């Protein structure tokens, strides 16, 4: 005790002025650090029941029936539900409604739910789930892209195994190859990646006495969830309320229904009792969405002077058992398949294919992460073929504002790739790159790699990317922001506080942040696509400006001044500057009725005004007009005896427009790079006939703090005219760089690089052939 | 419901073992809890060994060190005598699990789990460590390599516990070396590991060599022909490359999720090359 009391008292940091551009502490930091934050998983309403899903345990089968009697007879079991108990369509899915809440007769992947069990406690639930017996007739399965596309392949869905096939083309690739001085080719394979969020999918649901179905759930899309649930279960979406507390991570994996429909179904059957569902880690891995496995076939040609001239590529995405956002992921992959470069002639074709593998879905980098490996490997090979410096070739071809990108879209918004590459080229890590391999210890090889990447923001054309912000002056003279877009850890809620503080001139403790609640906030889309701070922030800027103008007008009445021009908002008060008189905000609030203390404004993201004569298969989502850009650099060291690769130094230079909070900016980049290093080095879902062999964190390996180097982050702060305070979203772009940058470094070190990721020791040791000169150096 | 008995002295322990002969013994619990959650083990009665002082601590005499089986990995890692006398064990402990696991897990637990991937085993094999086995009836000693019978199997008899590990001092001037290959730098199960204890004469020729490989067979593997091959030879890349061929022939790895047998076999040999006195190019 004495030791403890000797320490300075811990407490939340002093409330700072919230200003744009300052590294003010995150609004959620203190509550999270002391463990006070209530995530969805921390909600334990009184009298709750536990719900759990019985998973099929076979990747492809006919479900002839489900024996539930034994489970139902177990004391403590309240209900066992099957597809027959599902009202409504029994179909969920963000765009394509092809995924059953509970399987009727066709099991399409290992984790398909066949029954829902409700029990008084978790142990009873576990035992009851084991007593549910699905009667399965195994069917021949489809376990990779090539197998799915065979003419005689078993079909998984009525429309066949191709969810979506599309093409984006520009120029004339038929004749473009003839003038190319160098043509390079490659085929690349990438595995499924898990999101690896800490808080697994979970929530609680309850039918309230007034008949409203209320869910508190770990979700990225509370407003859309209402419609998903309503469609699947035949309910009125406006009689469903969804509350989305801070999420313990998501990265795309909680975009779309996870527990929502199952929880809602459970709640409908228990007479108003609350129901809780928490997926354990293994269930999270087996039933959750994944980054799509992909195969990329590339052919890229350049003119003698290094100008990229022609691209032909085919991108295949394994969307697993259900569509989720497979078509949209493929769209993004295709739209980015040419890289952040000018290429006059392109033919980019894509397929999203059903298999009996786990469900491919949204994940940070959303199709672009995969394509980045392809186009950046091509750039390195082209540089080698032309005898050009890798960075120099990228700078020569980098997209600039006013160019048309490889999808034929004119870039009218901020385009800072050239500045990113320029900044990288002047960095000591690049200038001193030759010293790195020269100083390799014995039995090690070293290399330096670079990558240029980009990532679109927003939903793209055809699906309005809108947000409606709401801010109110509270009776005690503070401001409450009703956020409508979830904060899954990326820090958008803190950015909202900073925006409000900047415009209303308030300290952090005067801004109250309410996390999304469909009963309080207004529909603003999902927390995804790098659009969260941009879209909601833009709406909030408008709402704050309108509120400021209104409050100053109202204050002029109380202060008896003729006009509000001499009035200024200050922390906690309004001041009449000519006379120095202050009006506390609490006093101003007391004068105003609640309806007058609120400000609500909407923003809709701009879309392309061009109508490219390509990409016709994409009804929504093509094209995009706003992009974040980045240039990455990696120093790697490879052990020739073991094939073990270390990423020793890393630099990420990012164009995300103006930076609202430098610390949050750097942390988001560093987090993305760390996740990207995992994708590059060790993360891989191991599958055997659709069954995940490593559904836990002992066998599915995420990088630890010892596997990730210090990551230098530099911002190229272009100004995005349409963004709040000139910003663009950077949630995704950072994850696209590590795999290609590390692969580039591996090739520099070994003279070649595996075309299959992750770059595990077993793959690299095979590439270590004749020792290089550096092995001769004395120890 | 699991019953956990927590004896605080040896007499209490012996009586607990007498009354509950089927009880499962544990110390740090780092393996037990994983197996329990996976449904591989669900003992009705547990006996916790972590509160018995007689099982703790490191003591030194002229011959060597006696390591209490109840010492946590962190305690051993921080022990000045262990660092000075058994650097090969210290090196291995640095790669074991993560700080929380090293804080909870014990040497005795790592040995009794008897996994071929146990990180403390290869160093103790090359040091020809002995184990002290205690029971109510007395004490017996076994060489560690005779104590470990197979994956998860030891020579422990009913009513018997692993009390300590005895390690003799290595000859002065010996090189002690450990390397573990994992798929990441912490919290990684070894794909293959190598512990080495090599003594050379003033001319740089090998007088004595001991090597033990982890994760390439049902138990940790010593390969006498490799050790013999090096006697009288310099630790050059060419000599070590020859030894590597013998090592690859002797190990018996399996394929699993983490690595295939070919990789393990290849690398088991390669790891010997790290011992080269000078870094000339490895020969293939």
- Does B271 contact chain A (CB < 8 Å)? yes
- Give the span between the Cα atoms of A376 and A399, in whole angstroms: 14
Q: pLDDT tens, A302-329?
A: 999 999 999 999 999 999 999 999 999 9
Q: What is the pLDDT of residue A12?
A: 66
Q: Which of A640, A682, A762 sits opposite B259 (nearest CB)?
A: A762
- Give the span between the Cα atoms of B88 and B98, in whole angstroms: 18
- Does A686 contact chain B (CB < 8 Å)? yes
Hey, are the CB atoms on B263 and A698 less than 8 Å from each other?
A: no
Q: Nearest 5°: phi and psi at A656?
A: -120, 30
Q: How sure is the predictor about A139, in pLDDT bands with cuts at 50, 70 and 90?
A: very high
For chain B, the farthest-separated pair of C-alpha atoms sits apart, in whole angstroms, at 64
CB-based contact A524:A536 (threshold 8 Å): yes
Hey, are the CB atoms on A642 and B181 less than 8 Å from each other?
A: yes
The average pLDDT across A446-457 equals: 98
Closest CA to B101 of B39, B34, B36, B55: B34
In CATH terms, the fold of domain A293-460+611-769 is Aldehyde Oxidoreductase; domain 4 (3.30.365)
- Give the span between the Cα atoms of A750 and A739, in whole angstroms: 16
- Give the span between the Cα atoms of A465 and A617, in whole angstroms: 20
Q: pLDDT tens, A608-635?
A: 999 889 999 998 899 999 999 999 999 9
Closest CA to A259 of A288, A291, A282: A288
Q: Which two tokens stand for residue A55?
A: 């998973």
Chain B, 194-223: which have a CB under 8 Å from a chain A CB?
none
Range list of H helices, B47-155: 73-78, 80-85, 87-94, 99-104, 107-113, 121-126, 144-147
Q: With contacts defined as CB-CB under 8 Å, which chain B residues touch A701?
A: 183-184, 188
CB-based contact A628:A368 (threshold 8 Å): no
CB-based contact A657:A727 (threshold 8 Å): yes
Q: pLDDT tens, B150-176?
A: 999 999 999 999 999 999 999 888 999
CB-based contact B221:B257 (threshold 8 Å): no
Q: Which of A699, A761, A775 sits opposite B257 (nearest CB)?
A: A699
- Does B158 contact chain A (CB < 8 Å)? no
E strand or H helix that includes residue A556: helix A537-558
Q: With contacts defined as CB-CB under 8 Å, which chain A residues touch B281?
A: 771, 775-776
Three-state SS string across A404-428, please?
ECCCCCECCCCCCHHHHHHHHHHCH
For chain A, the farthest-separated pair of C-alpha atoms sits apart, in whole angstroms, at 87
Residue A427 pLDDT > 90: yes
Q: Which two tokens stand for residue A247?
A: 């999420």
Q: How far is CA A113 from CA A63, A109, A264, in A?
A: 11, 9, 15
CATH number of A3-37+466-604: 3.30.365.10
Please tell me whether the peptide bond between A758 and the residue prior to it is cis, using omega within 30 degrees of 0. yes
Q: pLDDT tens, A665-718?
A: 999 999 999 999 999 999 999 999 999 999 999 999 999 999 999 999 999 989
- Give the span between the Cα atoms of A678 and A670, in whole angstroms: 12
- Give the span between the Cα atoms of A382 and A101, in whole angstroms: 48
Cβ-Cβ pairs closer than 8 A, A with B, add up to 75
CA torsion, points A233, A234, A235, A237, in degrees to nearest 10? 90
Contacts of B45 (CB under 8 A, 6+ apart): B2, B3, B4, B5, B20, B22, B23, B24
- Does A12 contact chain B (CB < 8 Å)? no
The vertex-A485 CA angle with A242 and A264, nearest 5°, equals 20
Mean pLDDT, chain A, integer: 96
The vertex-A278 CA angle with A273 and A279, nearest 5°, equals 145
> A341-359 b/e with 16+ CB inside 10 Å = b?
bbbbbbbbbbbbbbbbbbb
The count of other CB atoms within 10 Å of the CB of residue A769 is 11
- Give the span between the Cα atoms of B101 and B99, in whole angstroms: 5
Cross-sheet strand order for the sheet of A581-584: A567-570, A573-576, A581-584
- Give the span between the Cα atoms of A375 and A736, in whole angstroms: 11
DSSP strand E in A620-697: where?
Answer: 627-639, 645-655, 687-688, 691-692
Task: Say yes or no: do domains A42-139+201-278 and A293-460+611-769 share a fold.
Answer: no
Q: How many alpha carbons lie under 13 Å from residue A657 in its C-beta half-sphere?
A: 23
Hey, are the CB atoms on B282 and A704 less than 8 Å from each other?
A: no
- Does B117 contact chain A (CB < 8 Å)? no
Strand partners, B135: B138, B160
> 3-state DSSP call for residue A139?
coil
- Give the span between the Cα atoms of A127 and A85, in whole angstroms: 21
Q: pLDDT tens, A35-86?
A: 999 999 999 999 999 999 999 999 999 999 999 999 999 999 999 999 999 9
pLDDT-above-70 percentage for chain A: 97
Q: pLDDT tens, B67-101?
A: 999 999 999 999 999 999 999 999 999 999 999 99
In CATH terms, the fold of domain A42-139+201-278 is Aldehyde Oxidoreductase; domain 3 (3.90.1170)
Q: With contacts defined as CB-CB under 8 Å, which chain B residues touch A706?
A: 184-186
- Does B98 contact chain A (CB < 8 Å)? yes
Q: Nearest 5°: phi and psi at A651?
A: -130, 130
- Give the span between the Cα atoms of A621 and A337, in whole angstroms: 15
Q: How sure is the predictor about B277, in pLDDT bands with cuts at 50, 70 and 90?
A: low
Q: What is the pLDDT of residue A612?
A: 84
- Give the span between the Cα atoms of A363 and A291, in whole angstroms: 5
Q: What is the pLDDT of residue A32?
A: 96
Q: With contacts defined as CB-CB under 8 Å, which chain B residues touch A681?
A: 184
Hey, are the CB atoms on A641 and B271 less than 8 Å from each other?
A: yes
- Give the span between the Cα atoms of A194 and A282, in whole angstroms: 12
Q: How sure is the predictor about A260, in pLDDT bands with cuts at 50, 70 and 90?
A: very high
DSSP 8-state symbol, A7: S
Q: How far is CA A394 from CA A306, A376, A389, B12, in A?
A: 9, 9, 9, 73
A706: nearest CA partner in chain B: B185
The average pLDDT across A319-343 equals: 98
DSSP strand E in A578-701: where?
Answer: 581-584, 598-604, 627-639, 645-655, 687-688, 691-692
Please tell me whether the peptide bond between A623 and the residue prior to it is cis, using omega within 30 degrees of 0. yes
- Give the span between the Cα atoms of B127 and B198, in whole angstroms: 11
- Give the span between the Cα atoms of A516 and A401, in whole angstroms: 36
- Give the span between the Cα atoms of A693 and A563, in whole angstroms: 71
Looking up tokens 């990108």 gives A405
Q: pLDDT tens, B112-157?
A: 999 999 999 999 999 999 999 999 999 999 999 999 999 999 999 9
pLDDT-above-70 percentage for chain B: 97
Q: With contacts defined as CB-CB under 8 Å, which chain A residues touch B178?
A: none
Locate the domains of chain A by residue range. 3-37+466-604, 42-139+201-278, 293-460+611-769
Chain A, 427-456: which have a CB under 8 Å from a chain B CB?
441-443
- Does A614 contact chain B (CB < 8 Å)? no
Q: Which two tokens stand for residue A593?
A: 């009725």
């Amino acid at each position: 005790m004495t030791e403890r009391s000797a320490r300075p008292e811990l407490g939340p940091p002093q409330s700072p002025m919230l200003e744009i551009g300052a590294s003010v502490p995150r609004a959620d930091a203190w509550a999270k650090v002391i463990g006070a934050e209530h995530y969805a998983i921390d909600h334990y309403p009184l009298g709750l029941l536990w719900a759990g899903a019985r998973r099929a345990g076979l990747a492809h089968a006919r479900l002839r029936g489900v024996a539930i009697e034994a489970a139902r007879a177990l004391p403590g079991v309240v209900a066992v539900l099957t597809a027959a108990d599902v009202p409504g369509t029994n179909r969920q899915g963000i765009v394509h409604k092809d995924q059953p809440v509970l399987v009727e007769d066709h099991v399409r992947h290992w984790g398909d739910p066949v029954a829902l069990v409700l029990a008084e406690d978790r142990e009873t639930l576990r035992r009851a789930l084991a007593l549910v017996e699905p009667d399965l007739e195994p069917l021949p399965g489809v376990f990779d892209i090539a197998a799915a596309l065979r003419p005689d392949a078993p079909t998984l869905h009525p429309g066949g195994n191709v969810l979506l096939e599309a093409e984006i083309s520009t120029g004339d690739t038929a004749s473009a190859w003839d003038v190319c001085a160098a043509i390079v080719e490659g085929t690349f394979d990438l595995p499924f990646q898990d999101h690896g969020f800490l808080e697994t999918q979970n929530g609680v649901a309850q039918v309230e006495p007034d008949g409203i179905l209320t869910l508190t759930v770990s979700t990225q899309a509370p407003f859309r969830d209402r419609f998903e649930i309503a469609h699947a279960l035949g309910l009125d979406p406006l009689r469903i309320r969804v509350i989305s507390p801070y999420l313990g991570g998501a990265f795309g994996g909680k975009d779309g229904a996870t527990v929502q429909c199952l929880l809602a179904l459970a709640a409908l059957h228990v007479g108003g009792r609350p129901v809780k569902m928490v997926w354990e880690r293994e269930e999270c891995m087996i039933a959750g969405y994944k980054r799509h496995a992909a195969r990329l076939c590339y052919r890229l040609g350049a003119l003698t002077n290094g100008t990229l001239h022609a691209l032909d590529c085919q991108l295949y995405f394994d969307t697993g058992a259900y569509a989720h956002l497979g078509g949209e992921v493929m769209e993004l992959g295709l739209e980015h398949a040419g890289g952040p470069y000018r290429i006059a002639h392109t033919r980019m074709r894509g397929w999203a294919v059903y298999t009996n593998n786990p469900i491919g879905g949204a994940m940070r980098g959303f199709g672009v992460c995969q394509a980045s490996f392809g186009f950046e490997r091509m750039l390195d090979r082209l540089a080698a073929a032309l005898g050009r410096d890798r960075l120099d070739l990228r700078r020569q071809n980098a997209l600039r504002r006013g160019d048309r990108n490889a999808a034929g879209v004119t870039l009218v918004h901020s385009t800072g790739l050239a500045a990113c590459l320029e900044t990288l080229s002047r960095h000591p890590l690049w200038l001193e790159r030759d010293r790195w391999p020269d100083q390799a210890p014995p039995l090690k090889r070293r290399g330096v790699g670079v990558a240029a990447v980009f990532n679109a923001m927003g939903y793209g054309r055809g699906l309005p990317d809108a947000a409606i912000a709401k801010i109110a002056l509270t009776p005690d003279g503070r401001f409450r922001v009703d956020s409508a877009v979830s904060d899954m850890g990326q820090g958008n809620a803190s950015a909202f506080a900073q925006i409000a503080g900047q415009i209303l001139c308030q300290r952090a403790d005067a801004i109250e942040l309410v996390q999304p609640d469909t009963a309080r906030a207004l529909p603003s889309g999902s927390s995804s696509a790098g659009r969260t701070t941009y879209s909601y922030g833009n709406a909030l800027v408008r709402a704050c400006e309108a509120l400021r103008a209104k409050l100053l007008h109202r204050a002029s009445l109380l202060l008896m001044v003729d006009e509000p021009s001499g009035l200024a908002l200050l922390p906690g008060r309004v001041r009449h500057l000519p006379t120095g008189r202050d009006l506390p905000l609490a006093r101003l609030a007391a004068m105003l009725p609640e309806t007058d203390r609120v400000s609500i404004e909407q923003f809709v993201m701009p879309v392309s005004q061009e109508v490219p004569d390509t990409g016709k298969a994409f009804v929504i989502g093509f094209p995009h007009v706003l992009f974040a850009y980045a240039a990455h650099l990696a120093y790697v060291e490879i052990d020739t005896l073991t094939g073990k690769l270390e990423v020793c130094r890393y630099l990420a230079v990012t164009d995300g427009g103006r930076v609202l909070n430098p610390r949050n900016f750097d942390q988001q980049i560093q987090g993305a790079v760390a996740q990207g290093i995992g994708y590059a080095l060790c993360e891989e879902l191991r599958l055997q006939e659709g069954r995940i062999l490593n559904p836990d964190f002992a066998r599915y390996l995420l990088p630890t703090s010892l596997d990730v180097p210090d990551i230098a982050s530099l911002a190229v702060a272009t100004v995005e005219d349409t963004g709040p305070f000139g910003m663009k979203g950077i949630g995704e772009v950072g994850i696209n760089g590590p795999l290609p940058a590390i692969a580039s470094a591996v090739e520099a070190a070994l003279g070649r690089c595996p075309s299959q990721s992750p770059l595990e020791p077993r793959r690299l040791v095979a590439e270590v052939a004749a020792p290089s000169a550096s092995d001769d150096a004395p120890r | 419901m699991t019953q956990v008995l927590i004896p605080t002295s040896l007499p209490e322990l012996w009586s607990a073992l007498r009354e509950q002969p089927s009880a499962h013994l544990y110390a740090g619990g780092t393996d037990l809890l994983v197996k329990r959650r996976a449904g591989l083990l669900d003992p009705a009665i547990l006996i916790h060994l972590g509160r018995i002082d007689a099982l703790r601590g490191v003591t030194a005499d002229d011959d060597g060190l006696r390591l209490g089986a109840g010492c946590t990995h962190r305690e051993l890692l921080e022990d000045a005598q262990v660092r000075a006398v058994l650097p090969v064990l210290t090196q291995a402990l640095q790669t074991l699990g993560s700080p929380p696991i090293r804080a909870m897990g014990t040497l005795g637990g790592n040995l009794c789990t008897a996994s071929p991937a146990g990180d403390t085993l290869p160093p103790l094999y090359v040091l020809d460590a002995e184990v002290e086995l205690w029971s109510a009836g007395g004490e017996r000693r076994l060489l560690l390599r005779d104590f470990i019978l197979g994956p998860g199997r030891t020579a422990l008899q009913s009513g018997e516990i692993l009390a300590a590990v005895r390690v003799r001092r290595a000859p002065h001037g010996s090189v002690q070396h450990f390397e573990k290959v994992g798929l990441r730098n912490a919290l990684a199960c070894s794909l293959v590991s190598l512990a080495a204890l090599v003594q050379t004469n003033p001319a740089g020729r090998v007088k004595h060599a001991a090597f033990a490989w982890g994760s390439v067979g049902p138990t940790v593997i010593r390969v006498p022909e490799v050790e013999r091959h090096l006697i009288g030879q310099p630790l050059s890349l060419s000599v070590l490359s020859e030894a590597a061929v013998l090592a690859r022939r002797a190990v018996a790895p399996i394929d699993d999720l983490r690595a295939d047998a070919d990789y393990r076999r290849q690398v088991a040999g390669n790891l010997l090359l790290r011992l080269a006195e000078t870094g000339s190019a490895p020969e293939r």
